[in-house]
Structure 1
Amino acid sequence: MSSPEHKQKIWKMIKDIKVGMLVTLDNGVPRARPMHLVQDEYDGTLWFFTRRSAEKVFETAGDQDVCLSFSDQEEGVYVSLSGKADLTDDRELIEKYWNPFIAAWFHDGKDDPDVALLEIKVQMGEHWKAKESKTFQLYEIAKANVKKDATPNLGENEKFGG
């Protein structure tokens, strides 16, 4: 797990990206699909709307272990989060997170019996954040190639949990 300060750091990195790639196991084979964050804060749990009848629901019922990855190449931010997935039809949470973007995917509205939330309780992860511009990163790579015993210093990398 991570501290409240670290959770805020992770949230700051992913909140504007909004869409993460959710990886589940489909008969033992990793499968990724985009999922859109619906919450306004992060406390160690991520929430995504889904159809109860979606393949990812059946995949997570068979194996709750999932991975989510977020990336923003412009900002040099990359985040990988691993945890356990669980399906919920908690009406209070559905009401809380319902919005026009989600409504576009669920034409029968939030009372559709196929509407559910996928809850991901994050257990561990890793993130990378470039500290400088792309030009500086290219300079670091070129310098490492010239100096043969040096490695490029492209920014921050941190693992947590596990």
Structure 2
Amino acid sequence: MSSPEHKQKIWNLIKEISVGMLVTLDDGVPRARPMHLVQEAYDGTLWFYTKRSAEKSFEAEADRDVCITFSDQEEGVYVSMSGRARLRSDSELIDKYWNPFVAAWFDGGREDPDIALMEIDIDFGEHWQSKESKAFQLYEIAKSNVKKEHKPDMGENEKFGH
């Protein structure tokens, strides 16, 4: 799928954003909610804590195909990743990613019976990155409207996976 270098590039795009919008299907209707990354690196898998009793957990178990998006409008970074989700309750994994931020959400601590990690194995995605200012982007759009053969240069765009 992606080379180690490309995975590092994706990680560099999303690590500072850290909160992505997870899209699951709720009776066939897409539904999104924020999820906070808990890992220190990206190897093709994303990790998030969740409650087993949360609707997103039931939705991800019913249809493992999910999408997660990250965006930083000020930096011009947008990443969309699609993959397969599953819930994990391994105490070793829970310990590995545990931190004070997570602890605030689980009254029973690491032993909370409702705690789980959502593992998302990424199959494919796409990212956009514009290093240019908004003024430059508006200039590119205006130039494209004047010169019909000119397409605006809005920055880097790359698809990855299958």
Question: TM-score by structure 1 length?
Answer: 0.98
Which residue of structure 2 aligns with residue 153 of structure 1?
A: 153
TM superposition shift of 1:131: 2.7
Question: Which whole-Å deviations, capped at 9, do the CAs of 1:91-143 have from their partners, x for residues lacking one?
Answer: 11111111111111112211101000000000000000003111211111111
SS across alignment from 2:49: strand
Residues 6-155 of structure 1 aligned to structure 2 (within 5 Å): 6-155=6-155
**Runs of 5+ consecutive residues of structure 1 not aligned to the other structure:** none
**Runs of 5+ consecutive residues of structure 2 not aligned to the other structure:** none
Separation of aligned partners in 2, 1:32 and 1:67: 9
Partner AA of 1:78 in structure 2? Y
After alignment, is 43-52 or 145-154 more displaced? 145-154
Question: Which whole-Å deviations, capped at 9, do the CAs of 1:19-59 have from their partners, x for residues lacking one?
Answer: 00000000000000000000000000000000011111111
TM superposition shift of 1:146: 1.2
User: Identity percentage over the alignment?
Assistant: 73
Question: TM-score by structure 2 length?
Answer: 0.98
Separation of aligned partners in 1, 2:113 and 2:105: 14
User: How many residues matched?
Assistant: 162
